[in-house]
Amino acid sequence: MEEVLSKEIGKKVILMGNEAIVRGALESGVQFVATYPGTPASEIGNIFYRITKDGLKIPYFEFSVNEKVALEAVVGASFSGLKSLAAMKNFGLNVCSDALLPFCYTGTKGPTVIIVADDPNCWSSGQSEENSRPFAFLAHIPILEPSDPQECKDFVKLGFEISEKFNSPVIVRTTTRVAHQKAPVVISELASPAGKGEFVKDVRRFVTMPPRVLEMKGELLERVKKIKEFAEKSNINIKEGPKNAKIGIITSSVSYLHTKESLKDLSLDLPILKLGFFYPLPENIIKDFIKKFEKVLIVEELEPFLEKEVERLAKTVNPKLQVFGKNLLPEIGEMRPEFVSQALSKITGKKYQMPKIFTDFPRRFPQFCVGCPYRLILGAIKKAVNEKEVIFGGDIGCYMLSGLPPFFLQDYLSCMGSSIGIAHGIKKATSQKLITFIGDSTFFHAGIPALINTVFNKSNPLIIIMNNQTTAMTGHQPHPAASEGEEVVKIEEVVKACGVKNVKTIDPVNSQEFEETVKEFLSKDEVSVIIARHPCVFLLKKK
C-alpha cells in the first residue's frame, strides 16, 4: 500500500519531500496534475501516475510532452475551475516561463500550485546550477520554501489556500535536500473532490490583449500587495530564540535545518528568522527582526537574493547593521552545517575547526547499464567514423554518459533539445561533419522545432534519435512513442512529416547496417536521421 495514501490519520509516516508534496495535494483535493519528469522532482509525477493507474479516479494525471505544455494544461484546467498542480525541475520553469507570466496576469480560477525543484550542487543536473527564486520578481508569483517533508505537505496546502484566496498561482520551491529528504510527517484526511470542471466564458479575465493586459498588470500588482499583507501575518515566517541578542540569523529552506544543527554544535543560542515566504517578502517582519542587531547572517544557498533584500531593508531601520552572507558562505554548491558553523565562528568569535576532508579516492562515474542499447550505438559510431574529424552533439538523457570514459563522444551539451539547434548553427558556421544524439523523450520535448529548422534553413547534421522506448534517466516514464507498449505517435512518421528525406529506423543490434548507414548519411547534403530503436534494458527486466 502506498504510504502517500496512508489512512493512519494523525499518525506519523515517513515520507520523502516529493511524497509529502503529493500527499499535501491530495489532502487539498487536487483535481488536475500535469508534469514532465526531471530530477529532483520526478517522483511527484511517478507517484501520481502509479496511484491514478491503480484506481484513484481523481485527480486527472498526465505526463505532458514538456513543461510548457504541462503548465498550459494546468492553466486550462484552472480556467475551468479545477484545483490544479504542475511539477517540474528548475529547467522546466525556464521552458514554461512563456506560459507562466500571462498566467500571473490572468490569475487562477481553480487554485493552482506549481512545484519547482532546484538542484544546488548539480547532483542530477547538467546545464547550470540554477536558482529559480528570481522568477518571483519576473512573474510576480508567490514562492514558498519548505525545509522538510512536513513543510512540503503543509506548504502545498497553504499554496492552494493562498491561490484560492487571491487568485494567483503559487510556486512551492524545493531543493534536492528537501525533495529527497525523508522524515516523519503527520497524516491528515484525504479530500474527496469532484472531477469535472466548466469553462465559463469571461473575456476580460482570460484574454491578455492590450490595452486590457496593462489593466491586468495593475490588478496583478494589487494582488501581490495583498498577498504581502497576508505574508506579514503568516505563521510560516517564524521567529525563534532569545530576545535582546546583538546577532541574528535569517534563513529559509533546508539552510534552516543546517543552521539549527550548527547552533546546537556550537552551543550558541541566537535568534533565527525562518522565512516560509521568499516572495512576496514579509518586509515588516524582517525590519522588526533586524532593527536592534549589530550583526545579521543570511544563510541561503546559491545566489544572495535574500541577502540583497535584507541589505536594502537595513538601510531604513538599522543603517549600521553588518550584513553577512556570501562573504562567509559559498555561492556555488549546496549548504552544509559545517559552512554555517564556520561563518558563525567568524561572526561570534566562537571556536570552530572545519573537519579535514579526505579527497584521495578514485571517481566512479555512472555507466551505461549492462545490456544498454546505447552501448551498441556508440560502439558502431566509433567504428564507422574517424572521431577526430566529427563533432558530437549531446543532449539531456542517459546518453550524456557518452561523454565519459570509455566513449568520449560528446563535444557540446546544453539544454533539452538543443543538440539539434546547436548542430544547425555549427553546420551553418563551419564545413565540419557533425553527429548529434537526442533521446526519444527529449526529441518530443524540444527537438522537433529544431529538426524542422534544419530542413527549412537547409543544414545537414546527422541526427541519431536514441529511441529506447522510455524516458529512462528520470525513472522510465512513458512518452508519446512509448505509452504502455503503445506507439501513439510514431517518431519515424514525425521525422518524415518534418520534411526529412534521409530517414532510417535501425535496431542497433544490426551493427553492420548501423555502421553503413552512419557512413552513408554523414555524406548527405541534407539533414539525415537514424532512429536507433531498441528497448531500455530496464523495460526488459520489468517484463
Partner 1 sequence: MDKKVGEFNIVIVGTGGQGLITLLQIINRAALDEGYDIRTSELHGLSQRGGSVEVHIRFGQKIYSPLVQYGKADFILGLEAQECLKAISFAGPKTVFLINKLFIPIPEKNIIPEEEITQKIKKVSDKIHIVEAADICKKELGNDVTSGIYLLSLAAQKGFIPLSSDSILEAIKKTVAPQYLDINVKTFELSQKYEK
Whole-number minimum distance, CB 386 to partner 1, in Å? Answer: 22
| Using rule CB under 8 A, residue 338 touches partner 1 | yes
- Closer of 203 and 365 to partner 1 (Cβ): 365
Show contacts with partner 1 in window 501-540 (CB under 8 A). Answer: none
- Cell 555549427 found at: 426
| Run of H or E residues at 420 | helix 418-429
| Using rule CB under 8 A, residue 181 touches partner 1 | yes
Q: What nine digits make up the cell of 446?
A: 524540444
Whole-number minimum distance, CB 206 to partner 1, in Å? Answer: 37
CA atoms within 13 A on the CB side of 489: 14
| Using rule CB under 8 A, residue 151 touches partner 1 | no
Show contacts with partner 1 in window 194-253 (CB under 8 A). Answer: none
- Closer of 87 and 231 to partner 1 (Cβ): 87
Residue 332 DSSP symbol? S
Contact letters for partner 1, residues 106-125 (x by CB under 8 A): -----------------xx-
Residue 447 DSSP symbol? I
Contact letters for partner 1, residues 361-400 (x by CB under 8 A): xxxxxxxxx----------------------------x-x
| Using rule CB under 8 A, residue 319 touches partner 1 | no
Whole-number minimum distance, CB 394 to partner 1, in Å? Answer: 13
Q: Which amino acid is at 396?
A: I
Bridge-based pairing state of the strands 295-299 and 277-279: unpaired
Sole window of 27-35, 106-114, 204-212, 469-477 interacting with partner 1 (rule: CB under 8 A) = 469-477
Strand residues in 36-111 grouped as ranges (E) = 60-63, 84-89
Whole-number minimum distance, CB 370 to partner 1, in Å? Answer: 8
Angle of the 212-233 helix axis to the 283-290 helix axis, nearest 10? 40
User: How far is residue 35's CA from residue 22's CA, in Å, rounded to a whole number?
Assistant: 12
CB-based burial, 450-471: b 16+ in 10 Å, e otherwise: bbbbbbeeebbbbbbbbbbbbb
| Using rule CB under 8 A, residue 408 touches partner 1 | no
Q: Which of 164, 240, 261, 507 binds partner 1 (CB under 8 A)?
A: 261
| Using rule CB under 8 A, residue 264 touches partner 1 | yes
- Closer of 366 and 499 to partner 1 (Cβ): 366
Q: Any idea of the CA torsion for 496, 501, 506, 508, to the nearest 10 degrees? A: -110
Angle at 332 between CA 326 and CA 335, to 5 degrees: 75
Q: Which of 98, 184, 333, 432 binds partner 1 (CB under 8 A)?
A: 184
| Using rule CB under 8 A, residue 360 touches partner 1 | yes
- Closer of 235 and 361 to partner 1 (Cβ): 361
Q: What one-character-per-residue DSSP string does 19-52 give?
A: HHHHHHHHHHT--EEEE---TTTHHHHHHHHHHH
Cα separation values, 172 from 52, 133, 222, 397, Å: 23, 10, 21, 26
Q: Which of 203, 357, 388, 429 binds partner 1 (CB under 8 A)?
A: 357
Residues that bind partner 1 (CB under 8 A): 12, 14, 39-40, 42-43, 123-124, 148, 176-177, 180-184, 254, 257-258, 260-261, 264-265, 336-338, 354-369, 398, 400-401, 405-406, 473-475
